Amino acid sequence: MAQPDTHSKVIGYLLWIFGFLGSHRFYYGKPITGTIWFLTLGLFFIGWIIDLFLIPAMDREADYRFQEGPFSYSVSWILLTFLGVFGIHRMYMGKWITGILYLLTGGIFLLGVLYDFWTLNEQVAVRNSEITG
Closest among 68, 75, 55 to 5, alpha carbons compared = 68
Instruction: Express each pLDDT in 12-34 by its tens digit.
Output: 999 999 877 899 999 999 999 99
- CA dist 64 and 1 (Å) reads 13
Instruction: Express each pLDDT in 72-127 by its tens digit.
Output: 999 999 999 999 999 999 999 999 999 999 999 999 999 999 999 999 999 999 99
* Chain centre to alpha carbon of residue 106: 18
Question: Residue 79 contacts by C-beta under 8 Å, 6 or more apart in sequence?
Answer: 88, 89, 92
- CA dist 91 and 116 (Å) reads 13
- CA dist 63 and 8 (Å) reads 9
pLDDT at residue number 132: 87
Which ranges of 17-45 does DSSP label H, i.e. alpha helix?
23-27, 31-44
User: What is the pTM for the complete model shown?
Assistant: 0.92
pLDDT at residue number 122: 97
8 A C-beta contact, residue 28 and residue 62: yes
